[in-house]
Amino acid sequence: MSGRDFLQDFVGSSLWSVAPAKYRFRCVKDLNTGMKERHRLALTMGGVIDRSLEDVEGLQSSDYSTYQIFEPGDLAFKLIDLQNIKTSRVGLVPRRGIMSPAYIRLRPVSESVFSPFYYWYFYAAYRGNIFNGLGGGIRQNLSQNELLEFPVPNISFDDQQDISNYLDREVAQIDRLTRHKQRFIDLLQEKLSAEIIKAVEPREAWTSVPFWALASTKCVTGLAHEGLLSVYLDRGVIPYSEGGGLVHKPAESLDKYQLVEAGNFVLNNQQAWRGSVGVSSHRGIVSPAYFVFELNQTLIEPEFANFAFRSRPYVERFMLASLSVGDIQRQIKWHLLRRIMVSLPSLDQQRAIAARLKRLEARISSLVSRTERSIELLKEHRTALITAAVTGKIDVRNAA
């Protein structure tokens, strides 16, 4: 549904009449000339939050005298680059502070306007990508004049307050449940990590072998027709298409990409210290910046190696074998990597350990997937509830 379709749908099914936002709000721009206000705010996906003047995350101006002053109860809008659907668009200002001069500030025209209700209303429009369907210009911007023409509910102050209070309560309950479910996922993943570490930690009867005795480098190129693989921090070696493009984009030419066979150990040269390693279960090609090793399977079982080398103790050893080349990149060095000691039980024990860990990993993965799906359903319910309440599709005034 486009932005204009949403507006037509809203007008046709509302319990109440609508009027342009200009009858409820006015645009105000009070510049922070002379730095009369030093408390900085930021509009984020989590709402309007405090932000230090020293925080330089993102594209920020260093001249805060050009920023706008916002007051409690204002609505802040970021209606530029509307083609980007994964950014915040509206927030309710909780306290006095300064924000970007590019934001639009709406202030109630009278005491008959309850800002939190209209925040929920505009938030519903944001979650429905409504603004994105209304913007104009090359960069799809929505001007303050266009925003003031946006139809908003023309209802009493008491009704505004009742609906807002209802949503405050219901959304808070949904958010609490979502956090509990996310914490459950975190605990499951922590349990798996702990069980892996416990399973691969050295025993007295185990043999210590230097890495160079377990792995030999290989570099076969010119097989661009093979499927593209990549190494992910949490998932190991998987097809690039399954990773959602979260790592580097492939080069235009794949001629220099390296062949990986099932059972090979693959290590991201600059991200191994963070855990970007794994034993592949696929045949394919990877970036020439990666290390590809053929494992000595008379000493180490590939599935055991996959669990061991991705566990925290070994990732820490990869870190020690790396040299810093920036804030998030540490280039691993072979002369250090080759000396890393690896503790190994017998091959039969390795197979038994790997089989047990695979069963545990499968059970936990299933629980995580089901919990993640329940979180998605909660988020969908949250958005639908807000939209239905503020557009009058359900009457929640008596439930507030």
In tens digits, what is the pLDDT along the chain, a chain of 400 residues? 454 555 566 555 667 788 999 999 999 999 999 999 999 999 998 899 998 887 766 555 668 899 999 999 999 999 987 777 677 889 999 999 999 999 999 999 999 999 999 999 999 988 887 777 665 555 578 889 989 999 999 999 999 999 999 999 999 999 999 999 999 999 999 999 999 999 999 999 999 999 999 999 888 887 877 889 989 887 889 898 887 555 566 777 788 899 999 999 999 888 888 888 999 999 999 988 899 999 999 999 999 999 999 999 999 999 888 887 655 668 888 899 999 999 999 999 999 999 999 999 999 999 999 999 999 999 999 999 998 999 888 888 777 5
Q: Is residue 251 part of a domain?
A: yes
- The structure tokens listed for 282 are 């696929």
> What is the total count of domains within the chain?
3
- Regarding whether 329 and 395 lie in a shared domain, the answer is no
- Regarding whether 218 and 76 lie in a shared domain, the answer is no
**Cα 288 versus chain centre, distance:** 28
Q: How far apart are CA 77 and CA 365, in angstroms?
A: 39
- Regarding whether 147 and 32 lie in a shared domain, the answer is yes
Q: Is residue 265 part of a domain?
A: yes
Q: What is the CATH number of the domain that holds 137?
A: 3.90.220.20
- Regarding whether 253 and 339 lie in a shared domain, the answer is yes
- Regarding whether 333 and 378 lie in a shared domain, the answer is no
- Regarding whether 137 and 9 lie in a shared domain, the answer is yes
Q: Is residue 189 part of a domain?
A: no
Q: Is residue 196 part of a domain?
A: no
Q: Is residue 198 part of a domain?
A: no
Q: Is residue 269 part of a domain?
A: yes
This prediction has a pTM of: 0.83
- Regarding whether 309 and 294 lie in a shared domain, the answer is yes
- The structure tokens listed for 130 are 């409504």
- Regarding whether 101 and 11 lie in a shared domain, the answer is yes
Domain coverage including residue 360: 156-181+349-400
- Regarding whether 175 and 221 lie in a shared domain, the answer is no
Q: Is residue 191 part of a domain?
A: no
- Regarding whether 74 and 176 lie in a shared domain, the answer is no
Of 137, 155, 173, the domain-final residue: 155
Q: Is residue 22 part of a domain?
A: yes
- Regarding whether 260 and 392 lie in a shared domain, the answer is no
